[in-house]
Every structure is written in structure tokens, then in C-alpha cells.
Amino acid sequence: MSWALIPLTEEQREIQRTARDFARAEIAPHSDAWDRAEAYDVGIVSKLAELGFLGMLIPEEFDGLGLDTRTYVVALEEIAAVDASVAVLMSVHNSLPTQMILRYGNAAQRERFLKPMARGELLGAFALSEPDAGSDAASLRTQATRDGDHWVLNGTKAWVTSGNHAGVILAMARTDSSADRRGPRGIGTFIVTPDLPGFHVGKKEAKLGLRASPTVQLHFENLRVPAENLLGDHHMGFVYAMQSLDNGRLGIAAQALGIARSALEHATRYAAERRQFNRPIKEFQAIQFKLADMATRVTSSRALLYSAAAAKDRGEPITQFSSMSKLLASETAMWVTTQAVQIFGGYGYVKDYPVERLFRDAKVTELYEGTSEIQRIVIARELYAQS
């Protein structure tokens, strides 16, 4: 079923087919089991890497594919349509740690980390939030203190996707002092690896959705990070993180879009098969209206996402459009999956049918990498900045 208004190139269609075939062959047979086990098979990481899906936005000189953003979100949607848990590891890895190192890292950091990350030898993670610093991320408390040729980090990071599997974690910590707090301009970004002394994986969250994707706390107890692992300016890490979230929000929009599209496809097929009152329920106007509204929202979300991705590839500012895209796609995912459950009726509420998992997976897209409320604040702020 195709809902694209903006045409794809032949290369993009081929990558789309590759991602779709891979997801159906290598992920779909295991998704329900991974959801029940609350863990994916880590072997899926190397399989994604073999196809280049962990280095899509990394230049060829660092062993990546050097593709444009629209091609990346096209592939990500296909993965998410089958398993949103696998899609989020792909999204975070491609959108945040690799892009932050590429944009703000020095030559030695790019050489050391980007090549193994592109090859899937090192999975990337992003550690900004803390137990008491979510939407107000600038209030984070993890402290970094310079000690000779190291920085010593103490604190706890929360909601870290793939934090227990990652080989490279981009962690934000305060570099200002308690006597001279500088707010967002007193935070640095550090490239943390799990072999460093003082690094500990903490609580793994038991979640409503994306159950196969591990979300953990990370504890830094006198974590000694070599000074050469500081990314860029030691007071600009929060700014780097916020700018990089423009990329991350496009990834989450693609994930949400994949969830919504999958729910629409399942509901459309079910409505043609399910019979009540001696005819398929697709013949009832109540069901037709639901499907029509679902298809309209999915198509609108894709059009905005593709446009925002194209703007990014042209080098244009996308803060407003990435927030718009994430907002529309995530709320579409939640609304469409709710309608899909309604179309399935009682069967939509049980785990034997796919829309139950899609409904659970959809909710978090309205929460992470900025809640829907935060996206509206960003959009409104950008509106006033332009006036």
C-alpha cells in the first residue's frame, strides 16, 4: 500500500525495498517473542550494520553510506512498520551520537569512533535526561570536574535507549561549578565508553511499549573520562544536544509514521475480512470514515516528514519543521492505533492481534525526544523568532 505524495528516486525505492524485505524476513518472525522477553536478539545489530543501516548518514570516508536524510527516514519507516523497538535503536544511533561526533568532534574523535559505529561494531546511545531532569533537561545535575588529563563524572542518567548495549554514549554533564552556575551554557558533552572505571548500568525500565528496546539508567561514580573524549567546547554540550535533537526528532517522526502506517494496513485488511450482519465491516460507513481519516493523517505526516528531511539536506534551519514533523507524526501514531484497535474490536485488545502492540508502542513517540507539549513550545518560539 503506497501513500507517498512526494516521489522517491530509484535509489530510494531500492533502499526502501531492501529495508522492507529485511524487516519482514529478519525481524517480523521474532517481534512478538522479543516483546514478551523485553529484549531483542543483539545479533540484529550486526545484521542492520551489514546492510549499512547503522551508517546511513555517516560519510563514506568513515565507512558509512553517506546518504541523504530523506533516504534514511524512508528506510527507518520500513523498520518501524515491523518493529518499533528495533527502529528506535537505529534512530538513536543514526540521529544523535554519530551526528554529534561528526558535527562537533575533532579529527581524532571522528576517526576513532565513527568507523566502528558505521560498521555496527559500536552501538551509540544518548544520555541527556536524568531522574529529575526531563523536559527541563538544562537542570541536569551530573557533575564533571577536571582532574589533570581526565574529567571525573558523578551522577545518574535516565531513559537511555540501548544504554546496556552501547559502546559509545554521548553523556551531558555540568562543567560549571556549584558556585557559578551558568545554566545551559555550563554543560559539556562527553564520549563515554563502558570500559571506563566508574561506569555502571543501573535499573532497566519495565515499559508499556517498545518493550524489546532496553531503556536503562546509567550511574557514573567517579567516572574518569579522558580529556580527549570531551566533545568540542566544555560549556557548549547542551547546545550541541539541542541542535542534534532536530535530527533525532525526524527519526522519531519516521518511527511514529511506521507504527501508524502498519496499524492502518492491518485495519484495512481486517475490515475487508471481518464480517458482521452478513457483510464485511468495510462496507459500513462508520468504518470507512475511520479508515479515510487514518489514511489522511498518515499521508500528511509523511509529506511533512519528507519536506523537513529535504530542507535539512539543503542546509536550511529545521528546528521548527522537525518539531512540527515529530508532533504531527507522533500524535498521528497514537490516534491511528487507537482507531485500529477500535476497528478490531475486542480482538484489538488481545495480544494475538498486531494492533495491540502497535497501540502500546505508539504512546512513547509523544513523550521522548521532547513531549508534544515541548514541541508546541518550540514551534511557537520559532514563530515569534521569525516575526
pLDDT tens figures, 304-328? 999 999 999 999 999 999 999 999 9
Q: What is the rounded (10 degree) CA torsion for 32, 33, 38, 44?
A: -90
Average pLDDT, integer, range 149-175: 98
Q: Is residue 269 part of a domain?
A: yes
What's the number of domains the chain is made of? 3
Count Cβ atoms below 10 Å from residue 81 Cβ, excluding itself. Answer: 25
Q: Which residues are catalytic?
A: 369
Residues 210 and 322 in one domain: no
- Dump pLDDT digits (tens) for 218-245: 999 999 999 999 999 999 999 999 999 9
Structural domain range at position 350:
239-386
Please check whether residues 258 and 375 belong to one and the same domain.
yes
Interhelix angle 355-363/84-95, rounded to 10 degrees, is 30
In eight-state DSSP terms, residue 139 is: G
3 lies in a domain? no
- Please state, as a whole number, how many other Cβ atoms lie within 10 Å of the Cβ of residue 324: 22
Please name every residue paired with 161 in a beta bridge, in sequence order, or none if there are none. 215
Do 251 and 305 fall within a single domain? yes
Q: Report the SS3 class of residue 197.
A: coil
| Dist CA 297 CA 328 (whole Å) | 8
Average pLDDT over residues 68-86: 98
pLDDT value of position 4:
62
Radius of gyration (Cα) for the chain, nearest Å? 21
Query: Do 233 and 243 share a domain, yes or no?
Result: no
Q: Is residue 4 part of a domain?
A: no
Q: How confident is the model at residue 166, as a pLDDT? A: 98
Give tens-digit pLDDT for 193-223: 999 999 999 999 999 999 999 999 999 999 9
Mean pLDDT score, 109-138: 97
The answer to whether residue 146 scores a pLDDT higher than 80 is yes
Mean pLDDT over the full length of the chain:
97
Q: What number is the average pLDDT over the span 324-346?
A: 98
pLDDT above 70 (res 110)? yes
The CA–CA distances, whole Å, from 375 to 73, 315, 345, 369, 385 equal 19, 21, 32, 9, 15
pLDDT tens per residue across span 249-295: 999 999 999 999 999 999 999 999 999 999 999 999 999 999 999 99
Same domain flag for 248 and 381: yes
What's the average model confidence in pLDDT over 327-340? 98
Largest CA distance in the chain: 79
- Region of residue 66 (left: phi > 0; alpha: psi -120 to 50; beta: else): left
pTM: 0.96
At 125 the three-state DSSP class reads strand
* Nine cell digits for residue 186: 555550563
Which alpha helices (H) appear in the chain, and where do they start and end? 10-22, 31-37, 43-50, 69-82, 84-95, 97-104, 107-109, 115-118, 237-273, 285-313, 319-344, 355-363, 372-386
| Same structural domain, 224 and 248 | no
State whether 307 and 368 are in the same domain.
yes
CA 209 to CA 357: how far, in whole Å?
Answer: 7
Q: Check whether residue 98 and residue 137 sit in a common domain.
A: no
| Over residues 101-125, mean pLDDT | 98
In a domain, 43, yes or no: yes
Q: Are residues 360 and 247 in the same domain?
A: yes
Tell me if 303 is assigned to some domain.
Answer: yes
Phi, psi (rounded to 5 degrees) for 196 = -70, 140
Residue 152 counted as domain residue: yes
Last-in-domain residue among 196, 214, 237: 237
CB atoms within 10 A of CB 230: 21
Q: What is the pLDDT of residue 6?
A: 82
Instruction: State mean pLDDT over 115-129.
Output: 98
Domain at 178, CATH number: 2.40.110.10
Tens of pLDDT, residues 2-31: 556 789 999 999 999 999 999 999 999 999
The one-character DSSP state at 184 is: G
What distance lies between CA 185 and its chain's CA centroid?
25
Residue 1 lies in a domain: no
The SS3 of residue 71 is helix
pLDDT (average), residues 145-159: 98
> How far, in Å, CA of 55 to CA of 185, rounded?
30
The set of cell numbers assigned to 75 is 528506510
Q: Which three cell numbers stand for residue 22?
A: 529485511
The per-residue pLDDT for 283 is 98
Spatial distance between the Cα atoms of 265 and 268, rounded to a whole number of angstroms:
5
